[in-house]
Amino acid sequence: MTLKKNIFAMGNEAITEGALAAGARFYAGYPITPSSEIAERSSIRLPQLGGMFVQMEDEIGSIAAVIGASAAGVKSYTATSGPGFSLMQENLGVAVMGEIPCVIVNVQRSGPSTGLATKPAQGDVMQAKWGTHGDHGIIALSPSSVQECYDLTIRAFNLAELYRTPVILLADEIIGHMREGYCPHLPKEIIERKKPLCANRDYKPYDFCGEENEIAPLAAFGSEYITRINGSGHDESGNACGRLDNADKFIRHYHEKFQKNRDDIIETKSFDLQDAEYAIITFGCSVRSGKAALKLARQKGIKVGLLQLVTIWPFPYEQVAKICEQVQGVVVPEMNLGQIQGEIRKVCPTHCSLWGINRVDSQMITPYEILAKLEEAAI
Amino acid sequence: MNYMDYLKTQDFPLFWCGGCGNGAVLGAIVRSFAALCYSKEETVVVTGIGCWGKADDYVTTNSFHGTHGRALAFATGIKLANPKLQVVVLMGDGDGVTIGGNHFIHAARRNVDVTAILVNNYNYGMTGGQYSGSTPLNSITSTSRYGHIEEGFDICQLAIAAGAPFVARTSSDDPLAMQRFITAGLNKKGFSLIEVIAPCPTHFGKNNGMRNAADLMKWVKERSISVARAHTMNEEELALKLIMGILTDTEREDYGSKYSRVIAAAQEGRRDIK
């Protein structure tokens, strides 16, 4: 890893630089607060690198252009916030079913609807998982610092290419607009999509059986292969197929390809958990409050640790269950009404208490709110 | 190249109804590909959803079958990412100018170098004959049983107003005109639209007293006039007429070509893109 010097920048800038470092060369998007800096910076930076930027007529068209560009072989991304993310759900399904790699940055803001347009929230956890209709898996990563904005954007592209899937970078207004130092180092690893090696006539873009990680190679439009991309029910060749056994096979595949690769996809970070009797489990901007609360609680002699969910989807059930098994109680601060807490509840044993700290007034959860809950629990 | 090379004949017969115009349009498209010696590897057929959106099932080129109304937006990304590709977008009237109306006008305005072949059968055939954005006033459809109270788009005028440099209209019973206009559209650098009026005897025809394709084609013919003749007519006389032929053919630099100048400026540290 070649280190570059530290830069003082906002999260949205680091996301853009992460995308470029990962090799992304196409952006299509629609302006929306609090993500617009990603579009603005991309419009300057992409042509410098020979890439392309286009501002589309809406978010539906934006993600469509991103998917199209990726199918033509160029790593592609878009950035948006709640209302735009809602509009993208339709074609997010095309990327799922067509198995087209792409990265969608959602800098979360207050909702529902237009909500408080400039204010932060963490309310799109479930939308990231279930926003587009039908059964499917998805990958969502959530940064809690400007450095993680950069690093996780690179990782998002790597996972998208490796697993032929849309990946959602679930940032939030606080992290997107916050400025702090980060190092735009050269990525340790850049994953390029697997290309077919078979004879031209044998190529089937959806023939995943027997492939490594059960991911079929993807030939770009314009290669020596004929590629048929299909967002409707299709067979291994990409031809429309209404056979019920075929639908069963592929819909299970959209789910199972993530389940089978959970160990590779899921990332969590542990802080002071070795001797912890209580745990804070959180993600995104709330990690920062959680870490400050941890320090304050430790000063007061409460044995607290913190589990940061870097990967939100697939949900780190095993990692969470292990912590819940160890501690007496878990506090889950999140700027929503318990979307992560609900997932934790699924694996939380009865001996472990589970408390949510939830704010939807667009105020960041303070360390003292978390501390108060920990003190109450530890009495 | 033989035009049959572009057809997946193993999947014939075509699933479209008897009397439908789609097969004839598909024939004109693959004949145009053959005439221009298109490489299958460098051609992408992008389709939407609907009867005409099934057309990619029958072509041997690359294909992209996306969502209802969004074909032009997918095509925009495909073409901009790889300008060497020939990108051909197949849409119906419901697909192209109703649910996809926003993408349609902006693709024309943006002038992305793709060729859109829009088959207009005046209704949603696939879902059972409901009215679309092109259904004529007073028509009976599955959702306008008392007569349609909205006026339909003039799709070609919509494209021209939005800035499309090449716009032509013909009907699916004129294979020579179809092939001529499609070939011209494919050769055009920039956004080109070919609207093909096609019969839907199953729904639109049946609902409006035209039980077979011949009746529908006759109805289209009665309303059709040439571009030359249209020039001699006033607005009142032109009402409800279908002007057939090349309606506009102008030169306008396409988005991709302009963007290559943006790249040059960015890389040379300039702020202007002349």
In a domain, B249, yes or no: yes
Q: Are residues A373 and A329 in the same domain?
A: yes
State the total domains in chain A: 2
Supply the ipTM of this predicted assembly.
Answer: 0.97
Give me the residue label for tokens 């056979």.
Answer: A243
Q: Are residues A230 and A288 in the same domain?
A: no
What is d(CA A69, CA A76) in angstroms, rounded to the nearest whole number? 7
Cα A162 → chain centroid? 15
Query: Is the Cβ pair A52, B64 closer than 8 Å?
Result: no
Locate the chain B residue with the closest alpha carbon to A46: B263
Q: Are residues A66 and A78 in the same domain?
A: yes
The pLDDT, as a whole number, for residue B21 is: 97
Q: Are residues A33 and A20 in the same domain?
A: yes
In a domain, B272, yes or no: no
Examine the fold and report which residue of A214, A234, A265 is the final residue of a domain before the chain moves on. A265
The pLDDT, as a whole number, for residue A63 is: 98
B137 touches chain A (CB under 8 A): no
Q: What percent of chain B has pLDDT over 90?
A: 97
In a domain, B212, yes or no: yes
Six-digit token string for B182: 């499609």
In a domain, B142, yes or no: yes
CA distances from B117 to A175, B84, B177, B213 (A): 45, 20, 13, 21
Whether residue A64 contacts residue B66, with contact meaning beta carbons closer than 8 Å, is answered with yes
Instruction: Give the three-state DSSP class for A250.
Output: helix
What is d(CA B206, CA B17) in angstroms, rounded to the nearest whole number? 13
By Cβ distance, the residue of B41, B75, B77 closest to A223 is B41
The pLDDT, as a whole number, for residue A5 is: 75
Task: Count CB atoms within 10 A of the CB of residue A190.
Answer: 14
Read off the CATH number of the domain in which A315 is found: 3.40.50.920
* pLDDT tens digits, B70-86: 999 999 999 999 999 99
* Helix intervals (H) in chain B: 22-35, 71-81, 93-94, 101-110, 155-162, 175-187, 206-207, 213-223, 227-230, 235-238, 255-268
Q: Are residues A49 and A194 in the same domain?
A: yes
Q: Are residues A160 and A279 in the same domain?
A: no
Read off the CATH number of the domain in which A224 is found: 3.40.50.970
What is d(CA B10, CA B7) in angstroms, rounded to the nearest whole number? 9
CA distances from A322 to A66, A298, A347 (A): 39, 21, 9
Q: Which residues of B19-45 are buried (b: 16+ CB within 10 A; e: fewer)?
A: bbbbbbbbbbbbbbbbeeebebbbbbb
The pLDDT, as a whole number, for residue A3 is: 58
B263 touches chain A (CB under 8 A): yes
In a domain, B50, yes or no: yes
What is d(CA A207, CA A205) in angstroms, rounded to the nearest whole number? 6
Q: Are residues A360 and A282 in the same domain?
A: yes
The pLDDT, as a whole number, for residue B239 is: 86
Q: Are residues A52 and A91 in the same domain?
A: yes
Residues of B within 8 A of A231 (CB-CB) are 65-67
pLDDT in tens, chain A (379 residues): 455 679 999 999 999 999 999 999 999 999 999 999 999 999 999 999 999 999 999 999 999 999 999 999 999 999 999 999 999 999 999 999 999 999 999 999 999 999 999 999 999 999 999 999 999 999 999 999 999 999 999 999 999 999 999 999 999 999 999 999 999 999 999 999 999 999 999 999 999 999 999 999 999 999 999 999 999 999 999 999 999 999 999 999 999 999 999 999 999 999 999 999 999 999 999 999 999 999 999 999 999 999 999 999 999 999 999 999 999 999 999 999 999 999 999 999 999 999 999 999 999 999 999 999 999 998 8
Residues of A within 8 A of B81 (CB-CB) are 26, 52, 68-70, 72-74, 76
Six-digit token string for A235: 């067979």
* pLDDT tens digits, B120-164: 999 999 999 999 999 999 999 999 999 999 999 999 999 999 999
The pLDDT, as a whole number, for residue A4 is: 67
By Cβ distance, the residue of A26, A93, A227 closest to B81 is A26
Which range marks the domain in which residue A312 is found? Answer: 268-378
Examine the fold and report which residue of A213, A245, A265 is the final residue of a domain before the chain moves on. A265
Q: Which stretch of A227-241, B33-47, B226-240 has the lowest confidence by average pLDDT?
A: B226-240
Instruction: Give the three-state DSSP class for B139.
Output: coil
A352 forms bridges with which residues in the sheet?
Answer: none
State the total domains in chain B: 1
Handedness of CA B232, B234, B237, B239 (dihedral sign): positive
Examine the fold and report which residue of A238, A265, A292 is the final residue of a domain before the chain moves on. A265
Whether residue A28 contacts residue A65, with contact meaning beta carbons closer than 8 Å, is answered with yes
Residue B33 has pLDDT above 80, yes or no: yes
Query: Is the Cβ pair A228, B62 closer than 8 Å?
Result: yes
The pLDDT, as a whole number, for residue A2 is: 53
By Cβ distance, the residue of A68, A94, A98 closest to B76 is A68
Q: Are residues A2 and A22 in the same domain?
A: yes
Six-digit token string for B149: 């109270």
Read off the CATH number of the domain in which B53 is found: 3.40.50.970
The pLDDT, as a whole number, for residue B194 is: 98
In a domain, B219, yes or no: yes
Which range marks the domain in which residue B244 is found? Answer: 3-267
In a mutational test of the A interface, the residue from B9, B11, B68, B78 whose CB has the highest number of chain A CBs within 10 Å is B78
The pLDDT, as a whole number, for residue A331 is: 98
By Cβ distance, the residue of A67, A227, A234 closest to B77 is A67
DSSP annotation of A185: P
Query: Is the Cβ pair A47, B102 closer than 8 Å?
Result: no
Locate the chain A residue with the closest alpha carbon to B49: A232
Residue B271 has pLDDT above 90, yes or no: no
Six-digit token string for A107: 């800098």
By Cβ distance, the residue of B63, B65, B77 closest to A68 is B77
DSSP percent split of chain A into helix, strand, coil, nearest 5: 40, 20, 40
What is d(CA B143, CA A281) in angstroms, rounded to the nearest whole number? 53
Q: Are residues A282 and A368 in the same domain?
A: yes
Q: Are residues A144 and A11 in the same domain?
A: yes
What number is the average pLDDT over the span B244-258?
98
* pLDDT tens digits, B155-194: 999 999 999 999 999 999 999 999 999 999 999 999 999 9
Whether residue A282 contacts residue A333, with contact meaning beta carbons closer than 8 Å, is answered with yes
- DSSP secondary structure letters along B2-14: -GGGGB-GGGPSP
Q: Are residues A361 and A259 in the same domain?
A: no
Locate the chain B residue with the closest alpha carbon to A94: B66
Whether residue B148 contacts residue B137, with contact meaning beta carbons closer than 8 Å, is answered with yes
Picking from A158, A137, A167, A131, the residue whose alpha carbon sits closest to that of residue A253 is A137
A and B: number of Cβ contacts within 8 A: 148
- The answer for residues whose C-beta is within 8 angstroms of residue B176's C-beta and 6 or more apart is none
A260 forms bridges with which residues in the sheet?
Answer: none
Query: Is the Cβ pair A238, B76 closer than 8 Å?
Result: no
In a domain, B106, yes or no: yes
